[in-house]
């Protein structure tokens, strides 16, 4: 009799546990929907992943050194002025001091000029036009007929740029180096085997020039060079040694 009661008690306990498990299973979806963390949030929230900013689709012109700005005040014409961006990137404003404009868009320059005259004029109306600006150019140095800087007036390839600079000198190698800015401080150096291009091979080596590009034609073959160099070095020297 005692064993029968013990068996009945165990059976009741098992039934109770099964009932609890069923109830928990029925509540699980609702609970999960409230407490489950999306997979994308499981990682430590303090670790933020930086994504590169998308490139500007229609970039505005940025003011550069030696650009000429025509600043007009429709309601205060006595303040109209033409200014040249100084080598340090600043402009001198009549009765308003000096402000930096290098790297700004025209809209940003308008805002900066308004701020500069805030103590003189109440909510001034300012119009700014780009009267003159630095034309796109490329540079060819080294063993060419006429080393120098040339206007980039049309779609020009590396071989065409060398031709504009007088062609290869008798002492030149057809190994050409193209310096291309990747930031304000660094330039990428690419070795181009123009000899293959001249023989109708690897036409893709004949890259299209971009504003600010520099071509260097060495006298001797260079076997070792760095892919990235300080931009000031790339522009300021006449040879890429010891890359």
Q: For 74-112, how does the pLDDT look when each residue is reduced to its tens digit (9 = 90+)?
A: 999 999 999 999 999 999 999 999 999 998 999 999 999
User: How many Cα atoms are found within 13 Å in the side-chain-facing hemisphere of 124?
Assistant: 25
- Topology of the domain comprising 68-132: wza like fold (3.30.1950)
pTM: 0.49
* Structural fold of domain 137-236: Outer membrane lipoprotein wza fold like (3.10.560)
8-47 confidence digits (pLDDT tens): 444 444 445 444 444 444 444 444 444 444 444 434 444 4
Instruction: Residue 241: name the closest of 232, 228, 227, 224 by CA.
Output: 224
- Indicate whether 203 pLDDT > 50: yes
Identify the residue whose tokens are 């300080």. 230
Q: What are phi and psi of 189, to 5 degrees?
A: -110, 125
Q: For the chain, give every domain's residue range.
A: 68-132, 137-236
pLDDT at 187: 79
Nearest to 109 by CA among 149, 55, 69, 76: 69
d(CA 231, CA 243): 14
């Amino acid at each position: 009799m005692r064993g029968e009661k013990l068996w009945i008690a165990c059976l009741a306990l098992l039934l109770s546990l099964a009932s609890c498990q069923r109830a928990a299973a029925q509540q699980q979806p609702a609970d999960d929907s409230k407490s489950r963390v999306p997979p994308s949030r499981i990682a430590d929230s303090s670790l933020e992943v930086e994504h590169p900013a998308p490139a500007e689709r229609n970039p505005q012109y940025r003011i550069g050194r030696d650009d000429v700005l025509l600043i007009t005040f429709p309601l205060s014409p006595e303040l109209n002025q033409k200014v040249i961006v100084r080598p340090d990137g600043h402009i001198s404003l009549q009765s308003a001091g000096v402000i930096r404009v290098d790297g700004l868009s025209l809209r940003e320059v308008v805002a900066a000029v308004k701020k500069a005259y805030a103590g003189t004029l109440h909510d001034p109306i300012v119009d700014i036009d780009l009267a003159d600006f630095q034309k796109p150019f490329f540079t060819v140095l080294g063993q060419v007929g006429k080393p120098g800087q040339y206007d980039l007036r049309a779609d020009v390839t590396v071989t065409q740029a060398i031709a504009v600079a007088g062609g290869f000198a008798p002492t030149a190698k057809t190994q050409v180096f193209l310096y291309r800015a990747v930031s304000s401080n660094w330039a990428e150096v690419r070795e181009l085997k123009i000899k293959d291009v001249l023989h109708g091979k690897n036409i893709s080596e004949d890259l299209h020039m971009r504003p600010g590009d520099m071509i260097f034609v060495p006298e001797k073959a260079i076997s070792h060079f760095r892919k990235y160099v300080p931009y000031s070095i790339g522009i300021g020297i006449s040879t890429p040694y010891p890359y």
